[in-house]
Amino acid sequence: MRTSKPCARPSSPTMPPSAPPTAGKTSIWSTTSTTSAAAPASPSPPPPAKRCSAASSPKTTTATPRNRQNSPPTPTPPSPRKAKPNASPRQLSAACLVMAISWMVTGVSKYGTTGLDDYEPGSNGAVLRNLVGVVDPVQMGQIEYEALVKAQDKFIKSVGDDTVLSVELIREMHRSWLGRIYAFAGALRNVDITAPPHGEVPEFRFSHAAFLESNLAAFEANQLCRYTPCREKDLGALALQLAEVQAEFIMIHPFREGNGRVARWVTDIMALQADRPILDYDFEGVNGLANRAEYYRAMHVALQRLDYGPLAHLLIEAILRAE
């Protein structure tokens, strides 16, 4: 069983502002301004969050300093469904396969960037520079998928029910997954990235690269240390915890590629710790496109309004779908 170092929670953490950045300005949660061709000088990042013992950090669903003053209400679960008689959250390889298939995407870069960027020659900007010389995004998607299955199996077996998840562990997970594919595996990105519009969801700018370390320190203290090891038995409260962890990690977007899959991977581990199955998002079924669109909309609400309720409701459905 893998153990992790004691976790900490700051008594008064330096957290990013809750309001979205105004045009032409740079904040903790923004990329460089799009109003100027030249990237403006980055402001000095805030000091990293201090650490204290994990034992003193109560695992509640109250709002963190970045959230609204009042926590969103616990979502009402849909009609309960009985778990399948033979279903087990520890059916490792099969569960990992389901998880990886549901996340399978092509290797096409989904982001707009500022600053240094590097694509594989001959890929027409569709595939990031890689260690395997692949220029076809479909082929890269298959390679990433196969590597993800192996990495998930490894970590779901090694991360114990009593493990406090950490940023160091998440970086190790990313490195284990993509280490033979990309040189940047496990490393924090050095470019600012923007998610392009997706259907009804407008463009969104993630955390400025200069603030990744301090933002991750706050994420570890205020989400990972509070909610892991995950012991929540109430389905609605659990879904809110998972939604908060997913949204806060996505807001930071620490890696050049694979952030969404890592975010869902982390919350799947949390679900297993809470004796729940790996979530089934149903992204590849008959309603896959509609489910993806709904997920993106709920994530956008969480990121822009700090309202985790819609995302938590989808996670409840994903848990019940898997049982």
In the chain, the percentage of residues whose pLDDT exceeds 90 is 58
Write down all domains in the chain, each with its CATH number in brackets. 84-322 (1.10.3290.10)
For the chain, count helices (H), then strands (E): 9, 3
Would residue 59 be called left, alpha or beta, if left means φ above 0 and alpha means ψ between -120 and 50 degrees? Answer: beta
pLDDT at 134: 97
Helix (H) or strand (E) holding 192, with range, is strand 192-195
At 96 the three-state DSSP class reads helix
pLDDT at 204: 86
**Residue linked to tokens 């090694």:** 158
- Percent of residues in the chain assigned helix, strand, coil, to nearest 5: 40, 5, 55
Over residues 17-31, the pLDDT tens digits come to 333 333 333 333 333
Q: pTM of this prediction?
A: 0.71
Residue pair 323/83 in contact (Cβ under 8 Å)? The answer is yes
Write the CA distances from 197 to 91, 205, 267, 289, integer angstroms: 37, 11, 25, 16
Cβ neighbours, 10 Å, residue 122: 11
**Closest to 190 in 3D by CA, of 178, 207, 202:** 207
Give the pLDDT band (50/70/90) at residue 70. very low
Give the pLDDT band (50/70/90) at residue 117. low
Distance CA 209, CA 94 (A): 36
Q: Which amino acid is at 63?
A: A
Write the CA distances from 109 to 14, 100, 127, 195, integer angstroms: 32, 18, 6, 10
Choose between 99 and 169: higher pLDDT: 169
Choose between 259 and 70: higher pLDDT: 259
Write the CA distances from 53 to 3, 5, 270, integer angstroms: 15, 10, 20
Span 174-203, average pLDDT: 92
pLDDT at 198: 75
**Closest to 243 in 3D by CA, of 20, 71, 81, 109:** 71
Over residues 218-234, the pLDDT tens digits come to 999 999 999 999 999 99
pLDDT at 295: 96
Burial class (CB in 10 A: 0-12, 13-18, 19+), 139: middle
Give the pLDDT band (50/70/90) at residue 79. very low
Q: What is the mean pLDDT of the chain?
A: 76
